[in-house]
Structure 1
Amino acid sequence: MSTATDLTRWNRAGLSRFRYVDGNAVTFLELLRAELAERFPAWQEVTQLPLAETESERQERMLEQYHAPRRDWAWEITRVLARSSHVLAEHLDAYANEGFLGTATQWDTVRRLVEMIDYHPAPPASAATRFVIEAKEAGTLAAGFAVKHTPADGSPPVVYETLEELKVDPLLNALRSAEYNRNPERLGGDTLLLEGEVEDLKTGEPLVLEDEQSGVLRAYLIVGTRTVAGNTEVRVTPRLSHRLRKGYTLIHAKPAEGLAPIGPAAKGAELERVLRLTEEPEGLLTGAVIYIDDGAEELYRRVYSVTGKRLVLDTDVGPLRLDTARVGYPVTITVSAQEERPVDSPGSVIYALRVAGDWSRLADRRVVQETVDATKQKHLPFYTVTAARYHPADSDHLRKGYTILTVSWLKSEHPFPLDNPQTLLVPPVGVGPWRTDTFLEKQDGHLTAAIVTAKPKKTTVGDLAVVVMGHQAAWARLASVSVDLAREEATLTAEDGWDDRGGGDFFLTETKVYAHFKEALRTVAWQENRQPVTGNRIPLALVPSALEKGRVLMVERTDDATAAFFTTVARIEGTTLVLARDLPAGFTRGNTLIAGNVALAGHGESKGEKVLGSGDATRANQSFVFAEAEVSFVADPTQPAGVRAAIDLSVAGRVWKQVGSFADSGPTDHHYTVRMTEAGQLLIAFGDGVRGRRLPSGVNNVRVTFRSGTGLSGNLPAGSPFKPSRPHRLVEKVRQPLPATGGNDREGVESLRENAPATLLTLERAVSLDDFAWLAMSQSSVWQARAFSRPTGLGRNEKVEVVAVPAGGGALGTLAATLTDFLTANAVPEVEVTVLPYQSRTFALEVLLTVDTAAYNPDVVTAAVKSALQDAFSLRKRKLGQDLFLSEVYQVVEGVTGVEHSVAVINGDRSVRRVAAGDREVLILGQLVVAVEGEAATGPSPGEAIEASPPAPKPRLVGRRGVGVIQGVGDRYGQLLRGAGIRTLNDLRGIDPAHLPTVDIPPVRLWEFRTKAEIVVGLAADRSRLAPLLERTIHDLAEGSSADLVRLTGESAAAVDELKAKLRLLQIALDEEVFAAVTLRELLSELD
């Protein structure tokens, strides 16, 4: 062996082991040769050496000496001895390294080393979560209720059991906020957006809007309809009442019957200038004079306007019997002469007029003379024929063939004398051709409760009915429908009278009674209540009696599964639930779901009782190995590692208590400790009679029941499907809103090496910030932690925040409360401890390798580099707040066999040398692209024909928009494109996907994005010809009426259809929100 005393020349910084042996089989053989040469000078094979040799020559000679074949048994024995010494020396070297904590690699060796400072490896931990139980009936669900999750990858099922007793109640399955499914927004304007595509809505028909809270009905008339994004937009008149709320408005539509009203009809009325007829007066022109006769009154009026059946006259009509009045044209007669001078008296003037023919029927009738006053205003003054004497043509009278009319003018009625009239307007023979229209009677300004209509076919009691004439309406719910079969009519009686709008009369021929509405419709989003819920107070629709103070609740958002959290009931105030903590932002009445049947559950399945062994009172510190793997461990803040074995140990029927150590145990305390063996089994030890009670003697008197299930496999994401292992009468199903966290494997060598020395500083008590961090990391469910001091504010207690990375990563879940209890139990008094989740931030990495392809397979090297990078920059290896340096990347990459050279780029920026991490952040590898220099890029093969691209159009304003407006780009691809300098649509349409090797986007997607950008930027359309449409959005143009576009632009229908086809193509290219907002002007405006 070497006599040198310096054995450290092989030990330098950066090595993971000490080298205690200076030599190997070659050097050992040379040492043996030297000794043999001294003892056997005549042995030429060992004594013949060069007189002078350099160090390199010496090493070459030694290698040749070791490998050269010799037919000398003594030499072969010597070489075997050298080799055996080499094996023994390497064993001694390895064993010596196992004696130092920094170089030991074997778990059991490390365990024995750390036991010297009374540190014991942290046992594995079982994951825990809170399950939401949907109960079928009320009752008590005992602890140990088992549910099972079967992984999709075929791995063994994961069993969880509830850890506490729970009183379940079906009323607590899903508590909702008051009005959670009713939209409180007020209606307004003249537009209703109805759910779905509603067919057969007719313009002019009524809709009845029912307020479900108050029962108030309101009728509106349909003005127009159109389909908008799969829903139906209805314009109504008049404007909607702001008293209506979307969530409480039921819209009755599609009346099955339109009945003609019959009565009760008004017989007479005091009319103003408007007169309505039962039919349109064919041929009646504006300016014409009409004759009105109701049997009691004769009237002459000039027609001012004619609109359908509605006549507007020059003066008021006055009292008129509408049920008997007829309207026709007056007859014009010519006055031949005035027989005598008028007889003038103080109140009247008598005229005698001669007219040809027999007009004796005019006696006691009214006649008028068309008169124009000095201002050229036309008048129709009337006069009364008091006598009409006809002289037959075959008589001998001087005025034979004429009628002498005696006409009286009352001066009090008008100021127009009958001076030398040339013609007169007189009543026609018989009745006029047109009847006046009457209207439904009113009482106190409203329709009478009962109206008579034509016989209905479907209308019945409880139906809604709306009386409509023009834009006015009256509506009611029917209390009764009485049908008169003989008269083919029915009496409709309103439940609480008729409500109306418009105030006018309902004329029979222009009025229709709509009844029996077939469909009840809703507005879009009528069940969405977006009213925010803040603070810790939630008004409930129902408060079950089982909702008591202290009960654990799961508060969820129906639109965001990640927002779920658990809390407790602070108190109940009437129908208001007060939580123990405030709600985070984003909760509304509509999306808040509260589950009241919440049970804490842990990974593991209960097993039957087993005999651990027999007690022997003569033995101190008796121990047993419980030969069961994967025994569950549950959270327990009193234990050194924050967890205890999920076992129940009894001795002769008495249950003993599990403790972390016997340091505080007395001689009569029924305590035992649990340690882990290298095989993953439990070593259960008992006291020595001084520290902890000895086991009493007995046969098989030490028995154990336990739960089996532990490790990282129990960490399941939220929403994992579970079902009861066995049906239970109280349980319908089980949900897992929160992730299952806290599961971890047994503490490994690296963790032991790091955590064990820290216990000498903490002594299981947290005083400094480092103590809190080390103590948190000693908890079996935690991978790493950091502690921070926070301002105390107005309080007296110190505040410490501990940021923890749970085993397996992800959310803290129930571990937050468990770890808080553990730290609080081991902290100095008057310290407030808050456990916060870590934040994971990823970075992108691109690596270009140079590989000696003659010696190494590039694919194998690439895979090895990827694996090394993913391991080195994983959550398990990176530290909280640890910055990332480019040199770290090179250290990992170039440490892989086969890599000759490499170039690494972080986040697409070649200038980045360091990425800083926040206090609560862990920087881990996200997107990774590894390529080998010289590999062919994806794209067209060499020599493949490529079609010439059309000339690029002039740049347009829309081209300045970011790449995120393209459908399918999203946040992930958008970030990658921007990292490569591709920020706008103009940039995107100019790329060559075959020459972007550093962008980790499939070439097919790059071609897709480029094509979509070309479609958007290169829209072909004549801006000048589409000027009337420039301010409209392309969504409205694509979905709008073609007829409207033809009318606005003056273009042909074919041209408009072609434009709409191009715009619909943009719907494929553009993001949905952008497509709804961008205008045609932006699309077609060119940049200078």
Structure 2
Amino acid sequence: MRLRSQLAEDRPAADSATGSQSPGTGAHGTAAVTALGAVLPALRTRVVRPPSGARATAGHDPRRLFGPGSDLAAGLLPALDPRVASGMYAAWRRAAPAATAPPGTLPLLRELLAMRVTAAPFGAMAPLKPVQDDRGRVIRQTDWPLTGGELTAVRIVYDTAGKVPVKAEFQHIETGTSWQRSENLPQTAEFELGPGRVQLSTRVGQDHDLGWLRGRPTDSQEPGVTATLLPGLPALTLFVSRPAEDGRVHVVVENGETKQWMLSRGEPPRQISYGAYELTLRFTPGSEPPAVEIGVATVPEPTNRYVLPLDSVQNSITVGSWVAIERPRKGSGEPDGIPGDKKLAFVTTRVVAVRTAAYTNYGITGRGTQLTLADPWLDEHDVLLSAIRDTTVHAGGEPLRPADEPLGEDVHGNGIELAELYDGLRPGRRIVVSGERADIPGPAGPGDPTGVRGTELAVIAAVDQRVDPDLPGDHVHTTLTLTADLAYRYRRETVRIQGNVVPATHGESRDEPIGSGDPALANQTFTLWQSPLTWLPADNPLGATPALEVRVDGLLWHRVDSLAGRGPRERVYVTGTTGDGRTTVTFGDGVHGARLPGGHENVRARYRFGTGEAANVPADRITQALTRPLGVTAVTNPQPATGGADGDGPGLTRRTIPLAVSALDRLVSLQDYEDFARSRAGIGRAAARELFDGRRRVLHVTVAGVDDAPIGEDAEVLRALRASLAAYGDTRLPVRVDVRELVLLVLVARVKVAPDHSWELVEPRLRQALLRELGYPGRELGQPAALSEVLATAQSVPGVDYVDVDAFTGVPASSTPRELADLAVRLTEPSPVVPARPAEYAEDTYRVTATDGETLTDIAGRHGIPLAELLRLNPDITDTRRLAEGRSVSVFRGIRPARLAMFSPDVPDTLILTEVTS
């Protein structure tokens, strides 16, 4: 509170104008209004509509038309080969660019898939194979050989002290069956084991240490067990010694080549390749009875390495699809790892064949999908089921399109890159670009919404189809080049581009007979069934032409202003208006214009009816199509409709008819230009002056719409007027046409009602009188508004005793935010006259007053002009440094249009009337 009080004491005395407001309220409001200066320049950015029928200038350059990437060049293919006409663009959208990477290098990303199927190989969850003793009791378990392989296992069991072999166990496993045999030691025996035989022998000797083993005589034999596997089994001789002093066991395998190893108890199992076999050597750890296990596995056929049986049926896996196989232990080098190629730890390959199969293996049965792969997923070291128990198979890939990297750059300039490939866009076509504007200044960061939408019309200059082959995931998309830069900057994610743009005007169409011709009658007249007749802007003296086409017996007859001077064979007619506003069509009498030929309902009229300010609808309000041509699914109007005006009333008609006659289509004097412009359709006020525009003399015409209806800078009414003034005026005198600058009158008055009168009845009459006399009907361009006119008008209203005016002023459209903030000061007393200057040439400058200088942005915001316009007016400013105190800056140079000072019924709060009750 102390800080607020201190600030209130330090405020300038000018804040006293806020009256009874709380301290600081006036300054707060001033700051809020002044803040408009930062956004007004952007909001006042002028959008230049391309002229009607504009064509891209690039369309005249064949090198540009048919250059690399041009859509027109590709469009020649359907004409040259009709077979590609129907599906070319659909296929083109899916076309992948040719890689431009150096030879031998792979692209960063070839394909992205979401694997929807996760499965395991069949048997991965199968229990271990049980091993039974002579009595059929399960004494231990062992692993299965993979499908297509065989496993012969020899197990030498020692006594509880771990010194003397006491038992030899043999097992042979093939697909679907197995055999086993157990023999007590020591003994010499020979017996059958499955498809082969085994010779077993034992040598018992004294205990010797390893030193003796290394230095023993060559003819000495080491104590241990020897098992010879005869044909039908792997042809190998296996020897397992008794443990030495250090507990290690000597293992020898022989088949033409002798291999030997020393095993320590509890060490990880060893898998060793020996010829065509894979050997597994294991000396049981201390937690198990002491025993040495030797597994001899045959390597399955290489073709089996391409076959992957799954443990379930997966119908989503198809031929040609991708499969990813994970085997974490393969080639890892860890103690529990699986020897072999480390590349097989993760295999990606395609499916070349798929079938559903029934399995009977590994002691279980099942049904699943069997895949044949393009690449092997096993090698010669994968012989046991334990090699694939931790395998995970990913399949059923669903293609995913990589998400596009978001582009943070705003859409601006004359180039627009579209997200997809589009057909039907051609040079010269019109498009509508709309979106959220990004050029509105404010404290928000980049990408934050501004809430201000922009819409503008553009013309295509060129269409290119482009793709970046070095950008992963890029595809063919369309790039548009416009004939001119966009007026606004748009946030890219909000931009919407609409094609199939056609000009539309107000009016419902009718094609109907209006009468029957009779050659015996002169000047036959028919009346159109519907009214009012639609008039459209045109480059003629009237400024408009009716949307009417009359045919007699199928031949077109032409509308003329008068039948006078027309020949007896000319097919012409004139139009008129009845008292109730309906349009009449009158034909000739055989002398001045031809008579109608005879026939039944042979006179037909194709016309449109409907007009007026009601047609000036806001954007996106026209969404229902009365008819639906083939291919049209929806309609809208991206931009608001302008230029609609009601028909001339009796008063306006009396004023405009003499004006058209006075000029007679010959523009010589200033009054001729003014009368010519004022007599045109859609123009309610006009003022002409010959001025200097800074370079030369020009004839300047200021216009206002009928009832001050809005007229855009690019409206067809102004286009037609400029063309007509150039055609009918002095060709040596340049003509410039601008829309009036509006000055809104503001009146605050207290009214004393005469006795026996009611304020509820007097106030509406007084308001209507002021709007009539000081509104559009009673004002002219450049006509000041005097306080005496207000008083005289009020006193002429029945029931008004007197009027006490508290405030009377005007607010021009060119007011700066600073001037709007000071409006309350001007409302403290009435002005005797609110000026409304005519068109004039002006040069306005601003002198920097801040001691620390000002930036160009500050000056542009203070005067509500775009920064680009400020730089254009001051070409000597070439950097962004602050301008020093006392520096003069030009803020306007050119012709200001005439002002129209009036009360507006659209802003009722500018006319404040209160009753004097005391």
TM-score by length of 1: 0.36
Give the TM-score taking structure 2 as reference length: 0.42
